[in-house]
Structure 1
Amino acid sequence: MKRVTGIGGIFFQSADPVRLGAWYRDHLGLDVGEWGGAVFPWGGPGSASGMTIWSVFARDTKKMEPGSATFMVNFRVDDLDALLAALRAEGCDVLDATESSDFGKFGWVIDPDGNKVELWEPPAGQ
């Protein structure tokens, strides 16, 4: 339930990468290796089918708020509602707002470094 199902390559800095890696492991279920990262193979056994989106937003976008970064990572998830409930129970900073559209369901959490993280449950079959 708490496993994200895929992203492309995302690289960013932290003043305390070990602490931040542990937060992503403990709360989002990433399999963070000793080298500090996680791998999401596409199309293999147990992995999601799909794609990774790359997009540039205008400087004045509100999409990153209330996060403090100029980027946002979007993680695919299997059950958004269950994950958001689990994150709230774990004391994470989960935003109240969610969105549903033809593209799926979206929710957000703020990581310990102040980065807004998007959680996306794709429509069935995607």
Structure 2
Amino acid sequence: MKRVTGIGGIFFKSSDPKALSAWYRQHLGLEVSDWGGAVFQWGGADSPTGATLWSPFAADTHYMAPSSASFMINFRVDDLDALLLALRAEGCDVVGEPQHSEQGKFGWVMDPEGNKVELWEPPAGQ
């Protein structure tokens, strides 16, 4: 079973996400969307198409809980359900229940240093 196939996104806490996004837009040229983050499209002749997200979150977000880290990495995976089963069988700390939405399937695991890791199975064709 393939596990991680790429980075789906980098999420981090910010004391002022709007101002920080504006700084990245002005000084680094990120095309920040109305929702506050940027989408980096990728792919080519020898690789599948996809995207990686860059997104600041409010400093008081609970989205990264139970981690106390100021960031969370989102990894793309091929088969979220199979991977979560394997992680549980391997004794990993899988947190919460998988979520399904139009953006795909999401699951979470804590790494040994207490960082929450998001696992994302994109919708078919992405």
The share of aligned pairs that are identical, in percent, is: 72
Q: Distance in 1 between matches of 2:56 and 2:9?
A: 16
- Paired residue type of 2:89: A
Q: Distance in 1 between matches of 2:45 and 2:125?
A: 16
Larger proportion of strand? 2
* Alignment-derived partner of residue 96 in structure 1: 96
TM-superposed CA distance for 1:8, in Å, is 7.3
Residue aligned with 1:62, SS: coil
- Paired residue type of 2:63: K
CA RMSD of aligned residues (A): 2.1
TM-superposed CA distance for 1:91, in Å, is 0.3
Q: Distance in 2 between matches of 1:86 and 1:116?
A: 17
Q: Distance in 2 between matches of 1:66 and 1:53?
A: 22
* Alignment-derived partner of residue 73 in structure 2: 73
* Alignment-derived partner of residue 109 in structure 1: 109
Q: Distance in 1 between matches of 2:60 and 2:77?
A: 28
Give the structure-1-normalised TM-score. 0.68
Q: Distance in 2 between matches of 1:44 and 1:86?
A: 32
TM-superposed CA distance for 1:56, in Å, is 0.4
Residue aligned with 2:81, SS: helix
* 106-115 or 90-99: bigger deviation: 90-99
Structure 2 unaligned spans of 5+: 11-41
* Alignment-derived partner of residue 121 in structure 1: 121
* Alignment-derived partner of residue 85 in structure 1: 85
Q: How many residues are matched?
A: 95
- 1:1-126 to structure 2, matched below 5 A, reads 1-7=1-7, 42-43=43-44, 45=46, 47-126=47-126
Structure 1 unaligned spans of 5+: 11-40
* Alignment-derived partner of residue 32 in structure 1: none
Contact 1:107 1:118 in 2 (8 A): yes
- For the pair shown, the structure with the greater C-alpha radius of gyration is 2
* Alignment-derived partner of residue 30 in structure 2: none
